[in-house]
Amino acid sequence: MSDIQTDLQAPLQTPAQPSEDSGLILPRRSFLRGAGTLTLSAAAVAMLAGCESAAAGTSASAADISILNTALGAELEAIAAYQVGAESGLLQKPVLDLAVQFQGHHKEHADVLAKTVRSLGGKPVDAKKAYDFPVDKLKSQNDVLGFAAGLEKGAVSAYLGAVPLFKNRDLAKAAASILGDEAMHWAVLRNALGQNPVPVAFVS
């Protein structure tokens, strides 16, 4: 962490933004302001919570609980990762606000995943006592954003790979709604890095 503090004295390296009139992306500041209004849909949370009764003791299986628990473990790690970023001293407003907001989304995901696991008769995994993040490589705001973007991109792939495995289609639908939220995080973080926020037509 001492390395991180030292490097705070250095000017932040911000990649060149694509031109605003390119039509490809929004201006960075307005994009971030817009992102601040994004919230995980209450309907999405209700969808996951609401499927508990349908899933409990019926089509949801131990396999579904395992999928939910793996997702929960990843969400808990994401919460911890954003905490590291927020406490690094490297994030400037409005990026810091964005990170805190995204962390809040992951907390919402984790809460509803844990609740669903319990309602299905399973035991939700706990957060680890410690996480092993590459903090020695996070020396600028862009390093933190890049790290977070990688996690979010991986999360999109992870949910995409989990959706077809659910026995209960309501759970699959709910997981897809979280996937959508993670994809928005990834796009906003890419934009904040000066990258094309939506580089491809399909995610994989």
Specify the residue, 32 or 183, whose C-beta has the smaller distance to other proteins: 183
Residue 116 CB, nearest approach to other proteins (Å): 12
Residue 16 CB, nearest approach to other proteins (Å): 23
Specify the residue, 60 or 67, whose C-beta has the smaller distance to other proteins: 67
Specify the residue, 33 or 154, whose C-beta has the smaller distance to other proteins: 154
CA atoms within 13 A on the CB side of 173: 14
Distance CA(195)–CA(17), nearest Å, equals 7
Residue 11 CB, nearest approach to other proteins (Å): 28
Q: Where do runs of H (alpha helix) occur along the chain?
A: 2-7, 28-36, 42-54, 62-87, 95-119, 141-162, 169-192
Closest alpha carbon to 149 in 200, 102, 94: 102
Specify the residue, 32 or 82, whose C-beta has the smaller distance to other proteins: 82
Binding positions for other proteins, rule: CB under 8 A: 63, 66-71, 73-75, 77-78, 81, 106, 131-134, 150-165, 175, 178, 182, 204
Distance CA(125)–CA(204), nearest Å, equals 26
